[in-house]
Amino acid sequence: MLTVIGEGLVDVVQRSTGIEAHVGGSPLNVAVGLARLDHAVQFIGRYGRDPYGDSVAAHLRSSSVLVPLPPDDKPTSVATALINDDGAATYTFDLLWELPGLKDRLPFMLQGATLLHTGSIATMLEPGADTVLAAVEHAHPSATVSFDPNCRPTIITDRDYARRQTERFVKLADVVKASDEDLAWLYPGVDVLESARRWFAIGGPDDGPAVVVVTRGSEGPWGITAAGEAHVPAPKVAVADTVGAGDSFMAGLLSGLVDRGLVGGQYRHSLRSMPAEVLEALLRHAARAAAITVSRPGANPPTRAEMNGDSLTLDAGLPQPDYSGER
């Protein structure tokens, strides 16, 4: 069983022509992405007993994601974008991130988990962030831990706090993925790959991350392991939009590790000794997942059949925007 813990929310886009609402949240998107790649996944998060919460629950069920926590009586978190006639957006957030009573239930909730993924708002916003940290600490001996900071400077505005909190999770994680924008915001004025190398060295020989990956949009993803560094080009596709691309990349990366038998605390040494050619293959696999996602509207990650088929239409003639960002 793979476990994802973090926020689920609803993105509401208000235009003069009407209102659209879409289920989102970086960890939720990763859970859906893993499930569509045929992995058994449970999503530990919160949403309310309201129409938006019903949408979240239905979205998870439609991809066969297990949801062990019931809805609560508080409002579902909402991110609202007001788009004016010239296309400029003004954002407001109504976020609630708490998981009351979960700490006492962690041994039961995480029993049998071979992988625990988290990141984004869930690791930054209190009071829930403290519970997420407790979950990571509890799972670490027996599960592979993955982390994506997916920074939200408009929500968590204190850069120093965000940096400290990020580094707490990086040190506990086995697999870390960040966008170049994340690293540039956390460490202004420092080359993003140098920041990633520092993360890789944050622990000792037996702790800290075994794999650090940076998504860089059209430049293609880059990664580092003990065996060395690897970089692959980004597939060139006709881009519909970039929503959820980074989350699909994360799901593809983790799926590749699962398929290779590299998740679970007992396989931590194998993960740490992963050859550079395996890292390169993982980057290609994850980049393909992201490319399929950007080729169609919304946070719509691919299925395993789509990953194995010919659903990705290459277009070498198109300039590629940065699709490392996530919603």
Give the mean pLDDT of 12-41: 92
User: Which structure tokens are listed for 164?
Assistant: 């400290």
Assess contact for 133 and 125: CB atoms under 8 A.
Answer: no
> What does the pLDDT read at residue 298?
77
Asked whether residue 319 is assigned to any structural domain, the reply reads no
Q: Average pLDDT in the 89-105 region?
A: 89
Taking residues 131-135, report their average pLDDT: 98
Are 312 and 284 in contact by the 8 Å Cβ rule? The answer is: no
Name which residue leads in pLDDT, 260 or 323.
260
Per the prediction, the chain carries an average pLDDT of 91
Q: What is the DSSP string of 162-200?
A: HHHHHHHHHHH-SEEEEEHHHHHHHSTTS-HHHHHHHHH
In a domain, 326, yes or no: no
Report DSSP letters for 102-150, one per residue: -GGGHHHHTTT-SEEEEEGGGGTSTTHHHHHHHHHHHHTTTSEEEEE--
CB 208 within 8 A of CB 176: no
Tally of structural domains, the chain: 1
Per-residue pLDDT, 88: 65
When pLDDT is averaged across residues 273-299 and rounded to a whole number, the result is 93
Torsional sign, CA 196, 255, 3, 9: positive
**279 domain residue, yes or no:** yes
Q: Each residue of 218-228: pLDDT tens digit?
A: 899 999 999 99
Average pLDDT over residues 303-315: 75
Select from 194, 179, 190 the least CA-distant residue to 242: 179
Residue 247 within any structural domain of the chain: yes
Residues 110-131: pLDDT tens digits?
999 999 999 999 999 999 999 9
Read off the tokens for 79.
């991110």
Give the confidence band of 162 by pLDDT, cuts at 50, 70, 90.
very high
Which of 41, 55, 40 has the alpha carbon at shortest distance from 8? 55
For the chain, the 3-state helix, strand and coil shares in percent, each to the nearest 5, are 40, 20, 40
- Determine the angle formed by the axes of helices 26-36 and 245-259, rounding to 10 degrees: 50
pLDDT value of residue 325: 41
User: Who has greater pLDDT, 4 or 312?
Assistant: 4
Query: Which pair of tokens denotes residue 188?
Result: 């202004």
How confident is the model at residue 246, as a pLDDT? 94
The answer as to whether 148 is a domain residue is yes
Q: Are 282 and 256 in contact (CB under 8 A)?
A: yes
Q: Which domain holds residue 111?
A: 2-308
**Strands annotated E in 196-243:** 211-215, 222-225, 228-231
Looking at the chain, the whole-number percentage of residues with pLDDT higher than 70 is 93
Residue 254 within any structural domain of the chain: yes
Please tell me the predicted confidence (pLDDT) of residue 62. Answer: 96
With respect to residue 324, please indicate whether it lies within any of the assigned structural domains: no
pLDDT band at 213 (very low <50, low <70, confident <90, very high): very high
CATH number of the domain to which 152 belongs: 3.40.1190.20
pLDDT at 204: 73
Residue 327 lies in a domain: no
